[in-house]
A and B are shown apart, each in its own frame.
Chain A
């Protein structure tokens, strides 16, 4: 669209360029480019520090691994697995909460409720970690024993049950609680922006509240929902301290969610191993950081692809 006033220019005419516009768009572009530069610098740093790790010798890796890829593989699995479990718990809950606040709760109450959920975002990782080991893990342990005893035939629940409850499922719950406010807050804001006319049009057609949400609110918010979930996923993939404190980790590939040998995540592994690492072991850890970078890259590319294929172009 053009921004020129008064005279109606032909569509193809160049819009009038104002100095204010130039300065403003220039600044905005500069901010964008700054992000590019910063990220490029991080990437260069990561790659530079990672290169020595590719040729790492068996002696410098933990016992039982002979190449870097062998070591990184289970870590990749663990990272994705924990984040996936967390999202499976968090996404339905978040959407439910966001809808509850935006379209179900009485308006006077809604604002307060939104604030209460935002409170969860205000809780720092350390606290989640402390809460996870001192409160949540002992609390869920009896459930795990129960699941293991009576539902052990479900593949996920078999294996030898943890005596302390510090398993990947507990971590997934903690992560879910951590990403929940992020996803909820964004979705809520998006849902609230649904054009009023669309909602009323749906009601006018005799739709129930759920039908109205399905035909007007959700389609309108789809791209926003995906963005929110991606932000949540980013947090779940990269969360360090809470995972490091709560999880009983091992560098393994395992689908059992109730045992003491849990696949660990890249970020937590770095945090655990870094302080006492020296020399090339540090490079190995940074290289796993690069791998996490790549995972995020891939996941986001997939998500973007899905959005652009399914969404019916909103504004832009």
Chain B
């Protein structure tokens, strides 16, 4: 970004280039000393390294502001303060991420073996077995949910942004908001009630039911994120297309959607990530099984989170194999979502219009 040169060095002196980093080191050292005193005074039971980093960083932000204020003036000082805060926010967010990934990797790697990807849990008690049935179930149920939610959600967003006026649009906007508040277990109960009513089978269980329940949770996220992205497409683009005599629908398909594609894809992947980890509604409507089931439309089906959760919640007399399987399914699930993310991004990049910069 071309900012460094702007507005500096005319009247006021500015701080040397790496002064900020140096200050950070000084702040950490100061806090390290302070916490050592705390420890020696008996206020803390053990030496608190995270506390040092955290409060050291806070001290740094304050110090940067103060010194910059004295040397460079208030505007620069504020700018430096925000830079410090924004960077800090990012670092803080990384802490749980690192901890999570580390936990899942370390514990999940124990059963990350061939058997996990080639065996189900049919007739397996205790050690061994695998999560193939859950992997297949996850892919099918999530795919089913995406097939329902993405077209509906995207088209609804198009309607709201490009066509919607008046009461209908307002109602849809509002109800989509409300839809984000459906408790997931209620979505499961509803899908079960609906499908057992339609099929006349009081014991209705299928992966498709799970897809229906998940779409209820997924649609509002798709609509909301797509809507925001479509709104951001500059009107100039639409007007330019209209001026060339392009029909409105073609403008939307060829100009508006591609322009917003990256954002839309981000929204969809977020939505998938949101629902792929659901557990409670799936137990209700997709049931539970230890065997393979490739048929989305009949018979119970499990997904990785359900598998992981039941393995965690009901370990056998020796809980270790179960708990290991639980962590490995969590790891596999994260990997699947990562792959989906990656695929979505590549697709988005492939279809997105070629823009300058950015």
Q: A residues near B, CB below 8 A? A: 1-3, 5-6, 18, 20-21, 23-25, 27-36, 38-39, 41-42, 45-46, 49, 92-97, 99-101, 103-105, 107, 113, 115-128, 130-131, 134-136, 142-143, 146, 150, 173, 177, 180-182, 184-186, 189-190, 192-193, 195-196, 203, 206-213, 223-224, 227-228, 230-231, 234-235, 237-238, 240-241, 266-267, 270-271, 274, 286, 289, 292-293, 295-297, 300-301, 303-304, 314-316
In the complex, are the beta carbons of B3 and A209 less than 8 A apart?
Answer: yes
The dominant DSSP class at the B interface is helix
Closest chain-A Cβ to B4's Cβ sits at a distance in Å of 10
Q: Which of B6, B99, B234 contacts A203 (CB 8 A)?
A: B6
When chains A and B are docked, how far (Å) is the Cα of A209 from the Cα of B358?
Answer: 17
Given A28-B159, A126-B305, A297-B178; A270-B186 close (CB under 8 Å): yes
In the complex, are the beta carbons of B334 and A127 less than 8 A apart?
Answer: yes
Q: For residue A34, which residues in chain B have a CB less than 8 angstroms away from its CB? A: 152, 156
List CB contacts (< 8 Å) of B314-358 with chain A: 326-327, 330, 333-334, 337-338, 341, 345, 357-358
Which residue of chain A is the closest to B312 with respect to CB atoms? A130
In the complex, are the beta carbons of B270 and A181 less than 8 A apart?
Answer: yes
Q: Which of A21, A45, A104, A301 contacts B174 (CB 8 A)?
A: A301
The dominant DSSP class at the A interface is helix
Q: Which of A6, A208, A292, A297 contacts B183 (CB 8 A)?
A: A292
In the complex, are the beta carbons of A28 and B163 less than 8 A apart?
Answer: yes
> Chain B, 86-104, contact with A by CB distance < 8 Å: what is the 0/1 string?
1111101110110111011
Closest chain-B Cβ to A26's Cβ sits at a distance in Å of 10
When chains A and B are docked, how far (Å) is the Cα of A267 from the Cα of B279?
Answer: 13
> Chain B, 154-182, contact with A by CB distance < 8 Å: what is the 0/1 string?
11101111111000110111111111111
In the complex, are the beta carbons of B75 and A135 less than 8 A apart?
Answer: no
Q: B residues near A, CB below 8 A? A: 1-3, 6-7, 43-46, 48, 51, 75-76, 78-79, 81-83, 85-90, 92-94, 96-97, 99-101, 103-104, 151-156, 158-164, 168-169, 171-187, 189-190, 193-194, 216, 219-221, 223-225, 227-229, 231-235, 238-239, 242, 244-245, 247-253, 262-263, 266-267, 269-270, 273-274, 276-280, 304-305, 308-309, 312, 326-327, 330, 333-334, 337-338, 341, 345, 357-358
In the complex, are the beta carbons of A185 and B270 less than 8 A apart?
Answer: yes
When chains A and B are docked, how far (Å) is the Cα of A253 from the Cα of B120?
Answer: 45
Q: For residue A46, which residues in chain B have a CB less than 8 angstroms away from its CB? A: 186, 190
In the complex, are the beta carbons of B75 and A120 less than 8 A apart?
Answer: no
In the complex, are the beta carbons of B266 and A35 less than 8 A apart?
Answer: no
- Candidate in A122, A234, A297 with the most chain B CB atoms within 10 angstroms: A122
